[in-house]
Amino acid sequence: MEHQLVICIKNKGYEASLEARKLYEAIPDPKAEKHQQIRVIDESGKDYLFPKELFVIVELPKPVEEAIFREA
């Protein structure tokens, strides 16, 4: 699965699911993108659709990204 990292910049209305200023994993979803939504693994550990405007895509150096997604 392709990994993408995003930071939640607003969580109004989604306080139970998202923390502002927190890094999340996003899952590519072309259908959701057409509707200005993004599929994110939230605090429950499951993926859900959220408004794209709540997030900013983050690009980290490759070694940092690999460390984040490395199996524990």
How high is the pLDDT of residue 1? 55
Model confidence, pTM: 0.86
Angstrom CA distances, 24 to 3, 33, stand at 10, 17
Q: Which domain holds residue 23?
A: 4-69
How high is the pLDDT of residue 45? 92
Tens of pLDDT, residues 5-64: 999 999 999 999 999 999 999 999 999 999 999 999 999 999 999 999 999 999 999 898
Please report, for the domain that includes residue 58, its CATH number: 2.30.30
Angstrom CA distances, 49 to 33, 46, 62, 66, 72, stand at 10, 10, 26, 25, 26
Q: Is it the case that residue 71 has pLDDT exceeding 80?
A: no
Could you give the number of structural domains in the chain? Answer: 1
How high is the pLDDT of residue 68? 85
